[in-house]
Structure 1
């Protein structure tokens, strides 16, 4: 241990006190030993440090910070160096605001397009997500503070996220849901990891010994700090045994006492606690070093805004350019239509909300674009209400223009933390507007703003489609620079766009509604499914157009790398993201048709040729063998593919690779769906063959009393009349708020009340309600009203007496 001398001077109570927060965002301090408290702040795409009255839900405004494009946006850049640059600027701002740990990046897989937090995650591919995240981490930590990669692991839905049990086979867990974390931790060298809320195969992630000890600590040799997601601790002692150092937020000392009692009773060895204290001290002391010497307490707002614009420009994706309608020539008469042109949708919602230092406006930026903007009309109500008058005014304006710039997308309350989307559509009133405008002017360029994939049955009505995703505070100007050709678009999709939601692999198994969610599609998510099962898609993974063209040639495969050339055969300079895919020619073990194993972005002037080299690494040919319980290589010939997207393969070659002679892990006859990749509707018995065990019952037992890990939603069938009344009251409040247009508040009820497990009442109230008081509430819920009320009041008095005596 690095800090044995300090730890030996600590009392058991002091050690335990370090294991949970001092308040909502700070760790505990021990003044007599020179141990300072450190500050943790949200920050996947901008620092969210709240000045006062801190809360987790984003209700209170934070200190101004640069709002960079979200991870889902930056992923489209396919540029790890750009990710590192963002990290450097995020780190600089974190230091200026005296933040020790920046809670990001988030790297959960986009298993399903409806996950409400997809805007905060990079990709449907673990290699791509891991490499982008490693760049962010290196940049953030170059300033001496810590990044915190999250949410570990298999946290792929927002509904019931604090209690859902993710049922996934071991190979899929390793290859799809853990590989991005492995890359981020090993290559990015992150100092902190955040455990997720959910259970994984029957155990909460921060108590899961297989995940936290065997994989994270033993295999990956991670020696940093694990912090719970806020309110994500279930059994504090079990979490500590698994190696979870820090529980956030504060529990006002309640769980510290549990740790002290566990050590005294012998339930936990004090050396285990000492190890956790040692790792936390290392995080505290190493991140405090930057604040012990003079440091910049301000940052250059203009410079950071300029970088945010550069990042947005390289991340914008051109999806359609019929008749070369883009770029727009100077002097073109444009009608600007759509509410998002006036009030930009530029960032996500929930714990990632940033208070921007400045915010570019599309309407203001149009004046400097060289285009002749003949007017603006909102065209539609932002939150879906039909408005005939707005539609007609927009059509009247569109008639007078050469080109219509139509700004549409998803609103802030449709994509939000804590909630999953209900469908893949954009609001019907926006589609009606598009169809009406197309009847009076066929030269429509759609500017799309949303953080995740949407269906586009309307795409034939537009000639141009520019996807800005959620492009940050400088996104408006960046998009206009792409529209006018000042910037040649080079973004490529980091997720597949299917024609309709029913085409997606997890369609029948998302989200888990009650006890568990079954990942029956196994490793076949995203392009791995579509390409293997031959399902046509609207836009494939890795797709993006340019104002120039690129020719690939001269592939040469070596034992440790592949080289090839790219030529810019067009008239303007541009960037191209070349992608390496690998396919195993053996069918002994089921695999996706192809898998991304490398990528490289290159800048080329018109007519220029460059030779590109992409190295093979330890992940290029490996698979996880469930019989040997380790990574193996199948001896076979592998097809090496270089593509402009997952379906646009430009060059191929082959390489024979020696294997590790591991036994074949599967019986092909009992896994027919997995060997064909047609996993959209796998039967439970076949999934159990893959799992190697029976799947747990996925529905609630409505006959049992409700307990700590049951949710408020389950009060629907509670024995206590008061609980049932509360359930109906919550439902009424949600419906009423939605009806009167308070959708954000309605969503907050669903996220922070409806799907909250009862233990969350104690874990998220900072000691206002403790677990003994919660026992009283549960008695009331389960039909023992007077007994429960007496218990609750008695425990509250007891808590107040203790608090008074310690002050």
Structure 2
């Protein structure tokens, strides 16, 4: 979708008085009395609304109710790392992009490991959200859709740039800080109402609306839910957004957690919302309900309060809900409850207070204020991670000559959930303030494409939608030249030299209009495919080509009038071009590097290309051209520093082996260049730490991105046994630190940390634990506490980290509850998950998990181990079952006391008859019984399956081996 830029007022002081909107002059209803309890005010207002008015408020755009003085309220303004964009109800819900302060991308925010700083960031974003709302409340609402707390389990996930970390504790801490800042610090009112995205277990883009995340109970409770639980329990968010995917076979939009767990975590009512158009997936791609009336009824009953569908048009939603009421699928009480949740945040925002609440006088003057610019720079500084510093290659000395090269050296990029940068400080800009002489090169090949048939060059003709690119130029000029950047996975962008705009496809014709690759379909992506005759075919590779409706013709042809069009399904029928290199980007960069004291190569990602919403990465490598640039510059100048600017981890194994200095940053907003220079020249001592494991290659990851079981597949630093390129928590400093001997007492771990180097700096002290003995597989190590500490050169500080036995609880699948096991727990304290400086231990007298008692009705999903089996929905409203997908799939239950057991009883559903074998100690172990499973005709119709068992004694691991595709809900062995 196309975004429009919104003009804002000049930056000024943080909060300036403004004239509030006209006060309500109607009757003095109780709901307008701020001294009454929240619940009483909500009930009073709900009671005054008609049924039609209440139903209309379940849409994203809650319409005005003039008779009660209630204005339009829009749910959802994007604010991932700054106010990003919203939609204009008065112009067809078109996207309006904000141009306020953009902070570092979320992985960068988390890389600070500094919740206090991130709380200040959230406070600034919340203040600017109020400023935008004051300027245009019909566009920029105060219900913010941020932060994203999906865990970064696999770095190939397309939306890696939106999350914080692979670790639930760190994610929860940063999300809580950001959310608290967004909400403001008034005890009774909200500055803004943040919404956590996306509930739950959502880490893949391919088929995201139809894939089911298979999440066993321990992973569900110990991992995925924890990231949401922490900010909700700390009242740092006002609700959640349901994700697109299915969770154990049930669409997240109707996950029962939305009506139960998420509402029980925290003090206040929750306002839960759907993701865009997700309610329609229930009757569309997911085929979960036959009618939209059934679907909408389930959405409301299962705990969502707002439908994000049909842009600003609430009529279809209203119609379906009214049908559900007429069919008895909903009651007015269901509507009242959902509307009450929606109104609760409006009350807390001060909307119905006579004076609008304490934040009502924030004006647009706060947007992009000097204070916020400085905070953005400070945050970008603290997020920088020093990955390598061989022989003190860094920091650089001021003065001297520097070659600053690479495709990201002279420009900054925004991402889908960022605003428009109001200004840019690039790496070149920042370094020019420090170096005596700076030479630059973007390292990009400048090429011209000549149509073989006509002998004419492809040329730009203008910058509007009507100015078609054509192969009509007889000679090579600036208009026929394009700067080509290799972003990896064979994707190129082509920027025209004459007008500085990118070649793009706008549904025809090809044009040069856009300042940067952007948009939902990113129509500025191409592939140049070499042909046997040494020519090239130009293939259009915008994301729209992946849609089912896009025609098969993806290759460029040249018409009789010279215009480029998509006219061939293959290279054979495409136009063939010669690729003339007008200027070699590598040669130019090498020449600059040879003449300089230092070469700084700035490479990385373009946030709209390869990894982003709707598109996962297939490779973690730098683009081939960028890799070649780094190698060539390093060969030309041994004092080469790589600045890697990416939204995710990359496999930079060669760089780690051969380049003396490497710094990583996310796309960090308008102040990125200042922050890069601050770190390169040592005015900021880097102390950022990685929040994800950086792997050496995709071979260290599971083959399937959709594998959500981090325990059985050995994912994340907690369970992986691989040796990564950079471990979780890793980052270097320009100084050094010594850790003293820790002491453990009264739920605290205390130690002294000394800065033993010659520079002031920050150390991130990380505390991990390992459980020595357990009934189950436990983490190799797991983060339990951390603290970023500033120490002057030579200074010693006492660091205290909280660690209580309650922090060591894990999920007991045998009894379906949290348990603290009796064990010795190793306490590991260090500078990263692999750099452990001190160790001690804690003996905990907790519980010993008893033997499995399968004589009680046992849920099949509570297995200890499994193979092939999937978790699916028991009914459309609740419950989870184990489903075999093929003969030989199994589930296993450890440490079962079978004394006296003579029979097996299971609750099963199957479309065709099958069997369940009961075996001991392995899938092919002793067979003690076989239950026949009858066909029930429906996957949601269950019957009882039984089998007599051969008597055995002692404790065994019991395997239920399935002979066919079937569902097992519960079973017992008695």
TM above 0.5, yes or no, is yes
| Match in the other structure for 1:228 | 274
* Structure 1 residues 37-76: aligned runs within 5 Å: 37-39=72-74, 40-50=76-86, 52=88, 60=95, 62-76=97-111
Asked if 2 retains the 8 angstrom alpha-carbon contact of 1:301 and 1:357, the reply is no
Task: For residue 371 of structure 2, give the secondary structure of its aligned residue in structure 1.
Answer: helix
Q: Evaluate the alpha carbon distance shift between residue 315 and residue 113 of structure 1 in structure 2; reply closer, same or farther with a 3 A threshold.
A: same
Aligned-pair CA distance for 1:619: 5.5
Q: Relative to total residues, which structure has the larger strand share, 1 or 2?
A: 2
Q: Secondary structure at the match of 2:631?
A: helix
Bigger Rg, structure 1 or 2: 2
Alpha-carbon distance in 2 for matches of 1:482, 1:254: 54
Partner residue of 2:53? 14
2:216 corresponds to 1:169: yes
Q: TM-score, normalised by structure 1?
A: 0.78
Q: Distance in 1 between matches of 2:91 and 2:612?
A: 16
* 2:702 pairs with 1:525: no
2:419 maps to which of 306, 330, 354: 354
1:666-704 Cα deviation digits (max 9, x unpaired): 99xxxxxx99xxx9xx9526999xx9722558xxxxxxx
Q: 1:338 to 1:181 in 2, by over 3 A?
A: same
Residue 597 of structure 1 contacts residue 619 of structure 1 at CA under 8 Å; is this kept in 2? Answer: no
User: What residue number does 1:419 align with?
Assistant: 615
When residues 129 and 20 of structure 1 are mapped into structure 2, their CA distance, relative to the original with a 3 A threshold, is same
Q: Classify the secondary structure of the residue corresponding to 2:676.
A: helix
- TM (norm. structure 2) is 0.65
User: Would the alpha carbon gap of residues 664 and 616 (structure 1) be closer, same or farther in structure 2, given more than 3 Å must change?
Assistant: farther
The number of residue pairs the alignment matches comes to: 666
Unaligned runs of 5+ in 1: 512-516, 668-673, 698-807
Q: Secondary structure at the match of 1:693?
A: strand
Relative contact order higher in (CA < 8 Å, ≥ 6 apart): 1
Higher mean C-alpha displacement, 632-641 vs 59-68:
59-68
Given candidates 589, 593, 608, the residue that maps to 1:394 is 589
Shift of 1:319: 0.2
CA distance in 1, matches of 2:54, 2:398: 67
Asked if 1:153 is matched to 2:200, the reply is: yes
**Equivalence for 2:603:** 408
1:207 maps to 2:254: yes
Report the Cα offset of residue 664 of structure 1: 5.8
8 Å Cα contact 2:747/2:805 also seen in 1: no
Contact 2:810 2:819 in 1 (8 A): yes
Match of 2:533 in 1: none
Counterpart-to-counterpart distance in 1, 2:637 and 2:302 = 62
- Following TM superposition, by how much is the alpha carbon of 1:301 offset from its aligned partner in structure 2, in angstroms? 2.3
**2:700 aligned residue:** 503
Runs of 5+ consecutive residues of structure 2 not aligned to the other structure? 1-38, 134-140, 185-189, 283-294, 446-483, 493-527, 529-580, 855-862, 873-879, 887-974
1:589 to 768, 772, 776: 776
- Give yes or no for the alignment of 1:330 onto 2:527: no
Paired residues of 2:146 and 2:194 also in contact (CA < 8 A): yes
Equivalent position to 2:327, from 258, 261, 265: 265
Structure 1 pair 393–522 and aligned structure 2 pair: CA distance change class (3 A): same
CA distance in 2, matches of 1:213, 1:692: 20
Q: Is the 8 A contact 2:201 2:213 kept in 1?
A: yes
Summarize deviations over 1:114-163 as a string: whole Å, max 9, x none: 10111110000001000000000110000522111111111111222223
| Separation in 1, partners of 2:91, 2:119 | 29
Greater Cα offset, 8-17 or 107-116: 8-17
Q: Tell me the equivalent position of 1:186.
A: 233
Query: Which residue is equivalent to 1:684?
Result: 868
How far is the alpha carbon of 1:578 from its aligned partner?
A: 0.6
Structure-2 change in CA distance of 1:283 and 1:616 (3 Å): same
Give the structure 1 partner of residue 551 of structure 2. none
Distance 1:619 1:540 in 2: 27
> Residues 97 and 270 of structure 1: is their aligned pair in 2 closer, same or farther, counting only changes over 3 Å?
same
Partner residue of 1:652 out of 824, 836, 839:
839
- Aligned-partner Cα distance in 1 for 2:258–2:384: 37
The CA distance in 2 between the partners of 1:696 and 1:615, in whole Å, is: 45
CA deviations on 1:692-727 (whole Å, 9 max, x unpaired) are 722558xxxxxxxxxxxxxxxxxxxxxxxxxxxxxx
Aligned-pair distance for 1:430? 0.7
Taking a change above 3 Å as real, the CA distance of residues 657 and 330 of structure 1, as seen in their structure-2 partners, is same
Which of residues 540, 548, 551 in structure 1 aligns to 2:735?
548
Match of residue 434 from structure 1: 630
For the residue of structure 1 that corresponds to 2:777, the secondary structure is coil
SS across alignment from 2:725: strand
Measured in 1, the distance between the counterparts of 2:752 and 2:54 equals: 58
* Equivalent residue number for residue 318 of structure 1: 386
- C-alpha displacement at 1:266, in angstroms? 2.6
Is residue 2:595 matched to residue 1:560? no
| 8 A contact 1:53–1:60 mirrored in 2 | no
Secondary structure at 2:258's aligned position in 1? helix
Are the counterparts in 1 of residues 254 and 302 from structure 2 also a CA contact under 8 Å?
Answer: yes
8 Å contact 1:342–1:378 — kept in the other structure?
no
Partner of residue 140, structure 1 = 182
Give RMSD over aligned pairs. Answer: 2.7
Alpha-carbon distance, 1:275 to partner? 1.3
Residues 218 and 61 (structure 1), Cα distance of their counterparts in 2 relative to 1, 3 Å cut: closer
Preserved CA contact (<8 Å) 1:80 1:131: yes
CA distance 1:268–1:97, change in 2 (3 Å): same
